[in-house]
Structure 1
Amino acid sequence: MAKPHRSSTTVSSIPLLLLSSALDDSINLVSVSDGLESGERHIPGKLMEALRRVMPLKIEELIREIGGCSPSSAADKVSCIVYDQSLGRIQQVAERMGIGSVAFVPAAAALLVLGFNIPKLIQDGIIDNQGSPLTDKTVQFAPTMPIMSPSDFVWHRLKIASLQKLLFHIMTENNGPTKSADWLICNSVLDLEPGAFTMAPQILPIGPLLAINNRPAHSAGGHFWQQEYECLEWLDRQPACSVIYVAFGSSVMLKKAQVEELALGLELTNRPFLWVVRPEAIDGADDWEGFLERVEGGGRIIGWAPQQRVLDHPSTACFISHCGWNSTLESVSSGVPMLCWPYFADQFINQSYVCDIWKVGLRLEEDDNGMVASEEIKRKMDGLLGDGAFRERALRLKGKVRSSASEGGHSHENLTNFINWIKK
């Protein structure tokens, strides 16, 4: 990128140890102001609204600075904008400046199909015009798509009423710009979501977009936290298909009491485990080290893991996950069965894929107190690992997913066509 925004910071996107004569640092990361004071970002909905309202203006300013003062000169320097589909107003910036637009869906295609069907859901009396459920009747748009309760729709799972309405409005608003983009690409695979891609054929799957695993372990870039690669050596010492991997992503917060139940549940399974625990993600756990130390003899507890390498490891038996789409894709790509523990947003859609459609995992159910009890964890773990059909289905799905990303595969061809379009 030639000229960063005057109030922005430009940093390298590639660690120095990866640079070589064959790979120059041709991609830079440029920060763009969201217009908020630091304290405002903690107010629910403030950042979401700022990204929607401020980001398009800042992106347009940045493009003009890169190319010059006028839209025509900017178009000579910038060929297209690839943007997160949730920022639909960016497409309007591209259209106004005569630049190509590429909407990227980092989530499942089913989430976008849900957004496209909002008018029909209102017409059928499933939700009102603010997105609130009018019935508890489940919805399935196609036989191979998730089975969703209206209470599990992505906006409703935000739980705060103002955020529900804001996200519902954003999803509705984005339908038009998304359909108008030159390309609509998705980090998914045709064999994972055939129903969704049939309903919305304009969405092109190019996934799974995974890191290259043939690089040295410590050379991978693009991570927010320092990964603890020593856990791979620990995995090397464990029996095949024996280790329970536990991780809840980068944003989930757990109550201290729930963490204690999880620790007890892992202890009850009497299996080795690798548990990713970020102390700042445990609410009210000032003394959490005490009960973690009690179970640590049966496993390994770390702050952050090289997740894809862990899931690919032959010692890994299953994955207790929050069902974020990246984690779900990585697990499926490695042929690892899952215990599903979703918390918000699209994670419940992904859970339905895992449990209802692909049948490579089981749900962890909450009790009357809203807790996933240790006995529930033990029971579902025994059910998952005691039935070889889960791993068989997971391995079959792994083959399809990896084949799609290989040369000649559906995702590979879509990605190649997209790259060729970029080059032109």
Structure 2
Amino acid sequence: MDDENEKRAHVLVVSFPIQGHINPLLQFSKLLASKGLKVTLIIPSSTTEYSPSATPSSISVVHIPKGYEDGDTLSIDERLQRFFTVVTRALGEFIRKQVESEFPPKVLVYDSTLAWALDIAHEHGLHAAPFFTQPCMVNAIHYLANHGQLKIPAQGPFRLIPSTPQLETSDLPSNITDTESHPVLMSLVLNQFSNLERARWILVNTFFELEEEVVKWMRTLYPFMTIGPTIPSIYLDHRLEDDREYGFSLFKPEMESCMKWLDSKEAASVIYISFGSLAFLGEEQMEELAWGLKNSEIHFLWVVRKSEEKKLPAGFLDAIAPSDMGMVVSWCSQLEVLAHKAVGGFLTHCGWNSTLEAMCLGVPLVGMAKWQDQPTNARFIEDVWKIGLRVRTGEKGIASREAIEACVREVMEGEKGKEMRKNSSRWRELAKRAVGEGGSSDKSINEFVAQLVRC
């Protein structure tokens, strides 16, 4: 690319306003900026309290209204309805101003859940590229459901794609098996595939080697480009020297106390527990988890968001204090924690970012999937990639303290845990190769940039 073309190649990137979607799109923006492109990241939000601090100066971060406040009492579907109305208007107005600016954008990279953003891009003369933040297997399931090839609500077992495992109903994304709880959310997820034939590029946060058979199948339908895993460079390829953190958090981390506590523990002796920025546990499940951790006698670092603290069982914090076996914090930098030598396991909701982060840092998993893509991710974690165990639930969908204790002990101290650690190390090396120079993800990103500059 010549300098003049680089200056003209301006990319707009818009994210859905939750942590698990912002982070990968922010990382992708950094990668584009490292290629010499001008990048503007658009985040619908009601607050800028925790603004990006580690992003390159070549990335501009813009906040537009999202239509609701974080502390309101609206249901998920009500929030989505307001979001669509407000963001559609605000995004269109922002793009119009950018088109009339000194460096008009060429393309809008949009979170795939915002399918209507493709129409806004085309309306203003931009090319469009959806960015899928979930794995290809989950995308394939949603594609089949959207095109009527998978009946919903779904009932298994299924072998949806050749050369992939047979899936039970419980392995499918929750919106495929439960169509009544969040109808607007279900429509949002399925509509990701409503207009893909009009997108110039389709970007997916995975790497080819991880989901080879599914990627090959999806590429018979659409021009899928695997560009992941999108995590800070310091944890994988080290190609971006200043890329040590995501640089954006919706919550304030408590890192000084976390690191000091972890520094006092032996190597691989701590299990880290987090259910991300959105998932929540009922009081009964919170109690079972708390006492399961206590009974395991394994050191633990547990992230309990402030909105969830009231669910901690009475007497729990007092019970763990004398032995210093556990620490509870409201938020932390997950990558820093997973990279710490004291951390030997990760009890997770199996969100895709958490799964990729653990895999890229060689940390085995204990899975307690909640909803959306998490059950599918958990199945692959245990039976395909073999880097973790799923905690089985009882009739009420509650994982007992005994089941939690057993899985934690096995991953941290058992023979299966040793094998999972070896498998995690192997996937870590494959991920590093994928994002490294000439790797499968690196080639996709370079191809995307080259085509963008020429268009």
* Band the TM-score falls in, shorter-chain normalisation: 0.7 to 0.9
Query: 3-state SS of the aligned residue for 1:249?
Result: coil
- Counterpart residue type for residue 191 of structure 1: E
The separation in 2 between residues aligned to 1:237 and 1:259, in whole angstroms, is: 27
Q: Which residue of 1 aligns with 2:208?
A: 190
Which aligned pairs between 1:322-341 and structure 2 lie closer than 5 A? 322-341=349-368
Match status 1:152 vs 2:179: no
The separation in 2 between residues aligned to 1:416 and 1:277, in whole angstroms, is: 40
Q: Which residue of 2 aligns with 1:393?
A: 423
- Offset of residue 354 of structure 1: 0.3
Match status 1:274 vs 2:301: yes
Q: 2:435 aligns with which of 398, 402, 405?
A: 405
Q: Which residue of 1 aligns with 2:319?
A: 294
Match status 1:255 vs 2:282: yes
Q: Which consecutive unaligned segments of at least 5 residues does structure 2 have?
A: 1-38
Residues 80, 102 of structure 1: 8 Å contact kept:
yes
Match status 1:161 vs 2:193: no
Q: Which residue of 1 aligns with 2:249?
A: 223
Match status 1:137 vs 2:157: yes
- Offset of residue 148 of structure 1: 4.5
Q: Label 1:288 to 1:197 Cα distance change in 2 as closer, same or farther (>3 A).
A: same
Residues 231, 246 of structure 2: 8 Å contact kept:
no
- Can you list the C-alpha shifts for 1:144-190, whole angstroms capped at 9, x where unaligned? 46735277334146x57152x43443444332422321111111111
Match status 1:207 vs 2:228: yes
Q: Which moved more, 1:335-344 or 1:171-180?
A: 171-180
Q: Label 1:8 to 1:258 Cα distance change in 2 as closer, same or farther (>3 A).
A: closer
- Counterpart residue type for residue 227 of structure 1: P
Q: Which consecutive unaligned segments of at least 5 residues does structure 1 have?
A: 69-73
Which aligned pairs between 1:173-188 and structure 2 lie closer than 5 A? 173-188=191-206
Q: Label 1:354 to 1:37 Cα distance change in 2 as closer, same or farther (>3 A).
A: closer
The separation in 2 between residues aligned to 1:366 and 1:400, in whole angstroms, is: 32
Match status 1:88 vs 2:106: no
- Can you list the C-alpha shifts for 1:331-350, whole angstroms capped at 9, x where unaligned? 11111111100111111111
- Offset of residue 10 of structure 1: 8.6
Query: 3-state SS of the aligned residue for 2:301?
Result: strand
The separation in 2 between residues aligned to 1:97 and 1:114, in whole angstroms, is: 32
Match status 1:30 vs 2:56: no
Question: Would you say how many aligned residue pairs link Structure 1 and Structure 2?
Answer: 400
- Counterpart residue type for residue 108 of structure 1: P
- Offset of residue 41 of structure 1: 6.5
The separation in 1 between residues aligned to 2:188 and 2:84, in whole angstroms, is: 8
Q: Which residue of 2 aligns with 1:417?
A: 447
Q: Which residue of 2 aligns with 1:64?
A: 96
The separation in 1 between residues aligned to 2:108 and 2:174, in whole angstroms, is: 26
Q: Which residue of 1 aligns with 2:273?
A: 246
Q: 2:339 aligns with which of 312, 317, 321?
A: 312
Residues 10, 29 of structure 1: 8 Å contact kept:
no
Residues 246, 276 of structure 1: 8 Å contact kept:
yes
Residues 146, 357 of structure 1: 8 Å contact kept:
no
Query: 3-state SS of the aligned residue for 1:305?
Result: coil
The separation in 1 between residues aligned to 2:108 and 2:422, in whole angstroms, is: 41
- Can you list the C-alpha shifts for 1:50-83, whole angstroms capped at 9, x where unaligned? 4445533432222123334xxxxx7972211110
- Counterpart residue type for residue 319 of structure 2: R
Residues 76, 185 of structure 2: 8 Å contact kept:
no
The separation in 1 between residues aligned to 2:406 and 2:50, in whole angstroms, is: 47
Q: Label 1:261 to 1:174 Cα distance change in 2 as closer, same or farther (>3 A).
A: closer
The separation in 2 between residues aligned to 1:399 and 1:270, in whole angstroms, is: 32
Q: Which residue of 2 aligns with 1:71?
A: none
- Counterpart residue type for residue 335 of structure 1: G
- Offset of residue 381 of structure 1: 2.2
- Counterpart residue type for residue 221 of structure 1: G
The separation in 2 between residues aligned to 1:160 and 1:293, in whole angstroms, is: 42
Q: Which moved more, 1:170-179 or 1:108-117?
A: 170-179
Query: 3-state SS of the aligned residue for 2:65?
Result: coil
Q: Label 1:219 to 1:341 Cα distance change in 2 as closer, same or farther (>3 A).
A: closer
Q: Label 1:193 to 1:28 Cα distance change in 2 as closer, same or farther (>3 A).
A: same
- Offset of residue 26 of structure 1: 4.1
- Counterpart residue type for residue 290 of structure 1: G
Highest relative contact order (Cα 8 Å, sep 6+), 1 or 2?
A: 2
Match status 1:55 vs 2:87: yes
The separation in 1 between residues aligned to 2:287 and 2:353, in whole angstroms, is: 26
> Deviating runs (4+, > 6 A) in structure 1?
7-12, 37-41, 214-219
Query: 3-state SS of the aligned residue for 2:315?
Result: helix
Query: 3-state SS of the aligned residue for 1:117?
Result: helix
**Sequence identity percentage:** 25
